[in-house]
Amino acid sequence: MLTPTGFVTDTYLMLTVRNRWTSYYKWLQQGKWSWLALARQFMRLVLASVTHDVVHLAIDDTVTLRASKKAPGSRIHHQHGNKVNLPAFVQGQCRVNLAIITRRTSKEPVALPLLSRLMPASSNTGKLVAANTLVRAVQSLFRGLRV
């Protein structure tokens, strides 16, 4: 749904659309739609498009840097990537991500993101519990497949 630059507006400009921008904006902001239903439909499309003996899923966590302490789930995280341009501890939001690993037509592997879950700033919920929740959300789509 997002473009390589990460903006919904770029997607709107790339598509041939029938409605004005405000219609899509209102749908995104106020509409009754489900990210989970969108992710499941995307997974059905991917599974119909690729043929594998085994379906590979990947789970990873990522920290999105934030300047604001008021952002949802924002707290201090250890920056374990050891990037030289960042301090050892950074302010940010931690997300746990679920992706399916498949191959492009050129046989190069690619990870297609399915779902993300924002980790709360103050919670006893661990990353493994969040990862388990993401897998349970899409597990019904893998019936009869080796995962």
Convert the chain into a string of H (helix), E (strand) and C (coil): CCCCCCCHHHHHHHCCCCCCHHHHHHHHHHCCCCHHHHHHHHHHHHHHHCCCCECEEEEEEEEEECCCCCCCCEEEEECCCCCCCCCCEEEEEEEEEEEEEEECCCCCEEEEEEEEEECCCCCCCCHHHHHHHHHHHHHHHHCCCEC
The amino acid sitting at 89 is F
What does the block give as tokens for 144? 């009869």
* Higher local confidence (pLDDT), 111 or 32: 111
**Mean pLDDT for the stretch of residues 101-120:** 87
**Phi, psi (deg, nearest 5) at residue 52:** -140, 150
Q: pLDDT tens across 28-42, in order? A: 777 777 888 888 888
User: What residues form DSSP beta bridges with 117?
Assistant: 96
**Mean pLDDT for the stretch of residues 52-79:** 86
pLDDT of residue 46: 86
pLDDT of residue 120: 80
On average, the pLDDT of the chain sits at 82
> What whole-number distance in Å separates Cα of residue 60 and Cα of residue 51?
24
pLDDT band per the 50, 70, 90 thresholds, residue 4? low
The Cβ-side half-sphere exposure at 42, using a 13 Å CA radius, reads 14
* Higher local confidence (pLDDT), 98 or 107: 98
**Mean pLDDT for the stretch of residues 113-118:** 88
pLDDT of residue 17: 75
